[in-house]
Structure 1
């Protein structure tokens, strides 16, 4: 069974993404997590926040499918967070990998920051199923933009909700992992397109160490600030 993360727009329940726990292929006592976004999306790439925030011609977008998987990697002291992104004919070239020692060392690893666009598109329709529903509440995209971050840690390591941080907070606990969601609203109408920021690693960078909860809050605040500053600069609200 999946867990579906939803939010209400008016009287419509919108499907943001789903989470499924599966057995690890190397060790039946370990589990992996799969996070799926509904198909039917379209993607374009940008090298800066400014490129991502500004609207683009329809021809710059290509049909795409996206999901994330968190792998136990039982024989290593790291975990692999893989983003599979099929975009037009790019296929493997658009995938990215985030190798991290943070999960197994008891730290927190953010792996997606997203500013949501038009959630009334058909691809956000909630399918009929018996899946568990976790609602983030409701908002009006004519007035606000939804922003959220997805963070993973071991199931035993709880992310603290700090009273001085203004974001909303939700914990989802699985056999081996804890998924923490931070979300907040930017008080201007939602753009038509969504924006994804996805950390990744390379051979040159080596594994990421993750961070303490304060580091994650700071990253979330910094990304919100960078997005807001770019929005004001490019849209002149």
Structure 2
């Protein structure tokens, strides 16, 4: 009998929503499944109602999952594998080789900007093993998460005032989820950003080589936070561009743009005057 899955949740509109599940097999392989079945692929920066530039725009997702391999034959590396199956049968596989996990660091697995989570695919099924990573009001905030993988017992001991951090240990691996929220009504679509390994020797300049080495070598807790600070700006920019294409009349308002580019929050439900001031304009 396989061990039960641990399901990670965000609370949206006072309802628990399952965003991913993780299950460690008896072989030691960790399977992380994203709650995306039935959702549709979307060209980055384009809303669903807009004509896409690739053949995959608006194609239904059948499955999205990551597998983290113990890679027992290697003293230094682990292989991380992303598998996506589309409704039309097309398959996508991406691989990330990292020496972070066996060196006491953390490997980036994916970053995701979440939708309003209203789709029934996020409904929690029966059972326990629910781990909450945050709570947000999708009429006011958009959630973003960075998922990292480390070895069991490797502590993520850094903190950031505008992020929430959840660490969960399995038999061999540890999953760390960094979450943050920015002020903008959550869209009906999400955006997934993955990581792949490219040989640093193929870099065209020193800066590019440094980026490729960082991805392969992984991060210390403080460096992971610094990396997420950069990624979240990119994800927020993507969300704003998508929203502007979908509702240009709203985003012409300078006040809306100003609020969307204000500070980040560690919770999607800040209280008091801050929350009231934000809601006044949304």
Structure ranking higher in helix proportion: 2
Select the structure of larger CA radius of gyration.
Answer: 2
Inter-partner Cα distance in structure 2 for 1:72 and 1:165: 33
Structure 2 residue aligned with 1:74, among 47, 63, 72?
72
TM-score by length of 1: 0.85
Deviation, structure 1 residue 230: 4.5
| 2:222 maps to 1:211 | no
Match of 1:154 in 2: 151
Q: State the aligned residue count.
A: 222
Inter-partner Cα distance in structure 2 for 1:209 and 1:146: 27
Inter-partner Cα distance in structure 2 for 1:143 and 1:221: 21
In structure 2, runs of 5+ residues without a counterpart are 52-56, 203-211, 245-250, 257-282
| 2:32 maps to 1:35 | yes
Inter-partner Cα distance in structure 1 for 2:222 and 2:29: 26
Worse overlay, 164-173 or 147-156? 164-173
For each residue in 1:35-93, what CA deviation from the matched residue of structure 2 results, as whole angstroms up to 9, or x when unmatched?
Answer: 11232222134xxxxxx23314377211111011100010012111111101244633x
Inter-partner Cα distance in structure 2 for 1:101 and 1:8: 34
Inter-partner Cα distance in structure 2 for 1:182 and 1:166: 10
In structure 1, runs of 5+ residues without a counterpart are 25-30, 46-51
Match of 1:3 in 2: 6
For each residue in 1:157-209, what CA deviation from the matched residue of structure 2 results, as whole angstroms up to 9, or x when unmatched?
Answer: 111132x4420011101111111110011111001110001001246569811
1:186-197 alignment to 2 at 5 Å? 186-197=182-193
The 3-state SS of whatever aligns with 2:60 is strand
Inter-partner Cα distance in structure 1 for 2:7 and 2:166: 13
Inter-partner Cα distance in structure 2 for 1:196 and 1:188: 18
| 2:15 maps to 1:15 | no
122 and 202 in structure 1: CA distance in 2 versus 1, 3 angstrom threshold = same
Inter-partner Cα distance in structure 1 for 2:168 and 2:154: 12
RMSD between superposed Cα atoms in Å: 2.1
Q: Which has the higher contact order (CA 8 A, sep 6+)?
A: 1
For each residue in 1:2-47, what CA deviation from the matched residue of structure 2 results, as whole angstroms up to 9, or x when unmatched?
Answer: 11111222232111111111122xxxxxx121111232222134xx
1:36-185 alignment to 2 at 5 Å? 36-38=33-35, 39-45=37-43, 52-57=44-49, 60-64=57-61, 65-76=63-74, 77-89=76-88, 91-92=90-91, 94-129=92-127, 131-162=128-159, 164-185=160-181
230 and 43 in structure 1: CA distance in 2 versus 1, 3 angstrom threshold = closer
Inter-partner Cα distance in structure 1 for 2:32 and 2:102: 20
